[in-house]
Amino acid sequence: MCSDLVRLEDGAAAPPARSAQRADGRSGGAAPRLDKRTYLDGIQSRWSIKGYDYGDGLCEIGWSFVQQNGGSRIERGNSPNRDDHEIRAVRRARSHLRRLVLSANADHLLTLTYRNNVTDFEQASADLARFIRRVKSYLPEWVYIAVPERQQRGAWHWHLAVIGWQDVDLLRSSWRHVVGDGNIDVQKPKSRTANRRLALVKYLGKYLAKGFKDGNRVLNGHRYRASLGIQVPCKTIELLPEYPGNVSQYAQDMLRLHAGSLGFVWEDEGGLMGWACSWG
């Protein structure tokens, strides 16, 4: 959940106004103001801008146009274009997963495997739950974010983002207590980036997306699991009516002002939503 509404992050000054650019690159004067309905009409529609600061210069911001009334909500799984529905589902799941990993400061990857060919996902889920309960009986503050992966032979195993040094003996004995003859592996994520949290986000995001690609309907809404109580540092940012620019540029300026850098920007074709982060 996002915290209190803020006009500007940490009391910073408003980002500088930008002039509109013509297609030929020349200035076209002041950019047209946003239609007043986008920020004044709280009943019909509004813009939603949310920022996240994970520390160490890792920040992201997202913006979207929210239709309050008159819009039709498409039920899950009944999208006119199923491919588009799946793409949006993957994007939402990866976003939630990324925010949990970065918020938890997870920096190590724990993998739980079976010796036997366990193809029943319900059993694999029950085994994970029993393993977590046993570990937490010794380490009550233990934090995890888990993503399942199915191997080519059909067997399930688990990948977990965890924080810092791990008691390998405890984890191994706990897993074997549950499954009999299995194994664990704990390692730092291998990546070209020096930031382990971002490397973990990439690793787990790959496994999560693989589940969608493989059509693992058995997963339903259980594509990842996480400890309760992970606090995601989210703030809702108000779009200032006096800012003479578009929402996308405003959000990017806010991110650059707060994080000191702008690494990657994504916007949908219709211009109704977008996302930006401080890393490349």
pLDDT band at 212 (very low <50, low <70, confident <90, very high): low
Examine residue 124 and state whether it is found in any structural domain, yes or no. Answer: yes
Claim to verify: residue 116 and residue 78 sit in the same structural domain: no
Claim to verify: residue 112 and residue 55 sit in the same structural domain: no
Examine residue 168 and state whether it is found in any structural domain, yes or no. Answer: yes
Which residue(s) pair with 183 in the sheet?
Answer: 113
Examine residue 15 and state whether it is found in any structural domain, yes or no. Answer: yes
Q: Write out 209-234 in H/E/C secondary structure.
A: HHHHHCCCHHHCCCCCEECCCCCCCE
Per-residue pLDDT averaged across 135-155, rounded? 94
Examine residue 116 and state whether it is found in any structural domain, yes or no. Answer: yes
CA distances from 60 to 8, 223, 241, 278 (A): 15, 23, 22, 6
Percent of the chain residues topping a pLDDT of 70:
71
Exposure letters 1-13 (e unless 16+ CB within 10 A, then b)? eeeeeeeebeeee
Claim to verify: residue 183 and residue 206 sit in the same structural domain: yes
Claim to verify: residue 117 and residue 210 sit in the same structural domain: yes
Show the domain range for 130.
102-226
Claim to verify: residue 222 and residue 107 sit in the same structural domain: yes
Residue type, 255: L
How far is residue 4's CA from residue 7's CA, in Å, rounded to a whole number? 10
Q: Domain total for the chain?
A: 2
Claim to verify: residue 81 and residue 126 sit in the same structural domain: no
Claim to verify: residue 49 and residue 147 sit in the same structural domain: no
Examine residue 171 and state whether it is found in any structural domain, yes or no. Answer: yes
Asked if residue 99 lies in contact with residue 52, where contact means CB atoms within 8 angstroms, the answer is yes
Examine residue 16 and state whether it is found in any structural domain, yes or no. Answer: yes
Claim to verify: residue 83 and residue 110 sit in the same structural domain: no
Residue 228, CB-side half-sphere exposure with 13 Å CA sphere: 4
pLDDT band at 133 (very low <50, low <70, confident <90, very high): very high
Percent of the chain residues topping a pLDDT of 90:
54
Burial zone of 140 (CB within 10 Å; 0-12 exposed, 13-18 middle, 19+ buried): exposed
Examine residue 97 and state whether it is found in any structural domain, yes or no. Answer: no
Of 226, 214, 222, the residue nearest 121 (C-alpha): 222
pLDDT band at 95 (very low <50, low <70, confident <90, very high): very high
Max mean pLDDT range (21-25, 222-226, 240-244) = 222-226
Claim to verify: residue 266 and residue 222 sit in the same structural domain: no
Per-residue pLDDT averaged across 18-47, rounded? 40
Claim to verify: residue 155 and residue 251 sit in the same structural domain: no
Per-residue pLDDT averaged across 64-81, rounded? 57
pLDDT band at 127 (very low <50, low <70, confident <90, very high): very high
Claim to verify: residue 245 and residue 200 sit in the same structural domain: no
> pTM here?
0.79
To which residue do tokens 């799941």 refer?
93
How far is residue 101's CA from residue 41's CA, in Å, rounded to a whole number? 36
pLDDT at 43: 35
CATH number at residue 140: 3.30.70
Claim to verify: residue 120 and residue 143 sit in the same structural domain: yes
- Other C-beta atoms lying within 10 Å of the C-beta of residue 229: 8
Q: pLDDT tens across 2-22, in order?
A: 654 343 333 344 444 443 333
Examine residue 265 and state whether it is found in any structural domain, yes or no. Answer: yes
